[in-house]
Structure 1
Amino acid sequence: MLALSHYNSSSSPLLPRSSNDSGGKVEARVAVEGLSQQGNLTLLQPTTSGVIVVILSMTLGIISNIVALFILANAYSQQRRRNKAIFLLFASSLVFTDFIGHVIPGALVLRLYLSGGVHPDDFNSSDGMCQFLGGSMVFFGLCPLFMGCAMAAERCLGVTKPLLHSSLVTKTRAKICLSAIWLAALCVALLPCFQLGSYAYQDPGTWCFIKVLSDTQEVDVTFVVLFSGLGMASLAVALVCNTISGLTLVLARLRRKPGSHHSAKSHDIEMVVQLVGIMVTSCICWSPLLIFSLMSAIRSYTGSIAEDLSSYKTLMVMAVRLATWNQILDPWVYILLRRTVLRKIYLIAKCQAGLRGTIIGRWEPTSFPSSEKHQVNQV
């Protein structure tokens, strides 16, 4: 969503003048010289293809989240199992947060994009829009990570300690947990309002984030460490909890006696598979931004980023573009990894395996003796 045609052109006030220049060329040269005295001439021109990419990305994200919300709301209204209903409550809240987090920052980025972006000389300045956009990036970045961690911990407790889970986890407490998650993310996003960090425009001038590339102060490094640390800790806890849940379900499946009732386990398997999908998506989409922002802030604060500044700018832009895809891919986890879809995939795979086994069975060596015996009997 953050593509922008960025052209730099510099000229010197001591350029030689040609006597054969036409009037238009002389005027253009004078204009360039006047701008060059103030600094580099930067032309920010959004391309039509870039605008189309932004619009298509926003449209895809909005449609995906709406479809997933409809599926989850329908499943939540028909669900009678309490543990499944609590999971669907968390999942619906996550998709709704992704939807709002895709629309609000996306609309602001599109507005900056169409207006031509911000001049590089103003990157370190921060107006009201930059403060709001930067806070939105932090808030809507932490919320999905926190929710994925909470969902993984809830399922781990439900799989390993079902009796304790039934006595501790209720819908009311789940709603309180969701409110605490939103409040915690909001508190982190509002820290720059109390001079504990700052937001700044980022290259190419169409988005705002924590100040990590230039004029980074000690409070900015602390802010980045807090943001990245909370994000990576959430991913680590989700990884541990999902691993424990998965191993517990696999062992229970292996120990299950033939003919025993296992419908409850199928619900647990579905939820754990979806949580693994959420975790993998979050790790792929958010890890680069969490890591690169921390590295950029530390190197900028120590003054060792000057020689690699352009590389870090490119990495930050690529990382934030990848992070925006988390809000597009999350809904497809629920759309594609539902039990009905997984059952169809399993049946198709089973049919294909059975068909392949039938074909191979026709050419097994054991089939030849039986045919020879049949011929002997006929004789």
Structure 2
Amino acid sequence: MLALSHYNSSGSLLLPRFSNDSGGRLEATVAMEGLSHQENFTLVQPTTSGIIVVVLSMTLGIVSNIVALFILVNAYSLQRRRSKATFLLFATSLVVTDFIGHLIPGALVLRLYLSGGVRPEDYSSSDGMCQFLGGSMVFFGLCPLFLGCAMAAERCLGVTKPLLHSSLVTTTRTKVSLSIIWLAALCVALLPCFQLGSYTYQVPGTWCFINVLNNTDEVDVAFVVLFSGLGLTSLAVALVCNTISGLTLVLARLRRQPGSHHSAKSHDIEMVVQLVGIMVTSCICWSPLLVFGLMSAVRSYTGSIGEDLSRYKNLMVMAVRLATWNQILDPWVYILLRRTVLRKIYLIAKCQAGLRSNVLGHWEPTPFQSSEKHEVHQV
């Protein structure tokens, strides 16, 4: 167990003198507790179990992204259909972004956690490490949302307008689009370098994000509005595009003639299912941080946060922990929602249903009735 004790100059003058008797030790303990309640003495004790949880989550995220990256790269090298290859290129870029976004900020947070974090009175300050960590949080937060939106729009065009998609979407244009997405997220993350917003330490002093609770001013509110607005807009566009793609595929399957060739549609169904999985994961993991960050900044700027300050701090901590799971769950969308895996699950479920129907068929009353009638006729 690691322990880090911080105390200010006014608290150090009040520290008791320790004696060898039990009474002196008791007085020292009481005095230390009194100072901690007066917030002159701050004790931060990262537990061993907490460190183990952080290490295990980082390990799980790294392994998951590596497995998904191997699957996507292998599928991309074997793919001959251009529309599927474009989707796999987007998906591979998303997994690489998730992997780096899980590794770099996770390592910095773990370093802060092991050192005990910063003191509460230093939350408003911002050093180079905090600036880098806050920028990484914003950059690797916007990139998956932008990529998910671009993938949904590309699939919507491919499903609804296949001829237009084949003429517009090429590998070169896809790579240019990826570069634009990363550049746009980087520009947003670097805005505090131009005094357009700021990054500060957040409770419990082990991570950095946009200043939403400590002396929030106009540029901080504008920065949060931009970040949350871009994120929520990306989720909304992805929802609309995936809904259109899904309805189009369902209608096409209902209109399909029996015995017709539908292998191309099966590829489209697989890609849309994976996009829906990505969208649901992003909505669950990122929506709380986008909404709570915006609410915290607005209420802090207007001065109406009042006694709810501690509650908003806890909400921000829970929201950022939930957001980190997006980079762990995203790879499992490609691992579990592949066509081969879905087909095996379907066959297993079909076999189980067939066995159950066969077992129930042995207990149907019709065979017994027919046998009884046959015996009566014989008599």
TM-score normalised by length of structure 2: 0.92
Shift of 1:40: 2.4
Does the 8 Å contact 1:13/1:33 carry over to 2?
Answer: no
How many equivalent residue pairs?
375
C-alpha change, 1:302 and 1:280, in structure 2 (3 Å) is: same
The gaps in structure 2 that reach 5 residues or longer are none
Report what 1:76 is aligned to: 76
Deviations 1:350-374 (A, max 9, x none): 1111122222333334444433443
CA distance in 2, matches of 1:78, 1:210: 43
CA distance in 1, matches of 2:291, 2:15: 44
CA distance in 2, matches of 1:197, 1:115: 27
CA distance in 2, matches of 1:294, 1:59: 31
Shift of 1:29: 7.8
Report what 1:283 is aligned to: 283
CA distance in 1, matches of 2:36, 2:334: 54
Report what 1:311 is aligned to: 311
Does the 8 Å contact 2:16/2:28 carry over to 1?
Answer: no
C-alpha change, 1:309 and 1:5, in structure 2 (3 Å) is: farther
C-alpha change, 1:7 and 1:373, in structure 2 (3 Å) is: farther
Does the 8 Å contact 1:210/1:224 carry over to 2?
Answer: yes
Moved more, 276-285 or 365-374: 365-374
Secondary structure of the residue aligned to 1:204 is coil
Does the 8 Å contact 2:6/2:119 carry over to 1?
Answer: no
Report what 2:145 is aligned to: 145
Confirm or deny that 1:243 pairs with 2:246: no
Identical residues among aligned pairs (%): 81
Does the 8 Å contact 1:282/1:326 carry over to 2?
Answer: yes
Moved more, 202-211 or 155-164: 155-164
Does the 8 Å contact 1:148/1:278 carry over to 2?
Answer: yes
CA distance in 2, matches of 1:12, 1:110: 29
Moved more, 13-22 or 321-330: 13-22
Report what 2:347 is aligned to: 347
CA distance in 2, matches of 1:304, 1:17: 44
C-alpha change, 1:358 and 1:18, in structure 2 (3 Å) is: closer
Q: Which amino acid aligns with 2:362?
A: R
Does the 8 Å contact 1:12/1:33 carry over to 2?
Answer: no
The gaps in structure 1 that reach 5 residues or longer are none
Report what 1:190 is aligned to: 190
Does the 8 Å contact 1:202/1:208 carry over to 2?
Answer: yes
Report what 1:93 is aligned to: 93
Report what 1:199 is aligned to: 199
Does the 8 Å contact 2:15/2:31 carry over to 1?
Answer: no
CA distance in 2, matches of 1:204, 1:310: 11
Shift of 1:312: 0.6
Does the 8 Å contact 2:4/2:116 carry over to 1?
Answer: no
Moved more, 27-36 or 237-246: 27-36
CA distance in 2, matches of 1:26, 1:136: 47
Q: CA RMSD in A?
A: 2.9
Q: Which amino acid aligns with 1:297?
A: A
Does the 8 Å contact 2:68/2:332 carry over to 1?
Answer: yes
CA distance in 2, matches of 1:217, 1:362: 75
Report what 1:126 is aligned to: 126
Shift of 1:113: 0.5
CA distance in 2, matches of 1:143, 1:217: 26
Report matched runs for 1:93-112 at 5 Å.
Answer: 93-112=93-112
Confirm or deny that 1:180 pairs with 2:180: yes
CA distance in 2, matches of 1:80, 1:378: 68
Q: Which amino acid aligns with 2:140?
A: F
Deviations 1:263-314 (A, max 9, x none): 1111111111101110010011001100110010001001111201111111
Secondary structure of the residue aligned to 1:196 is coil
CA distance in 2, matches of 1:343, 1:67: 20
CA distance in 1, matches of 2:31, 2:335: 60
Secondary structure of the residue aligned to 1:299 is helix
Q: Which amino acid aligns with 2:52?
A: I
Report what 1:267 is aligned to: 267
Secondary structure of the residue aligned to 1:295 is helix
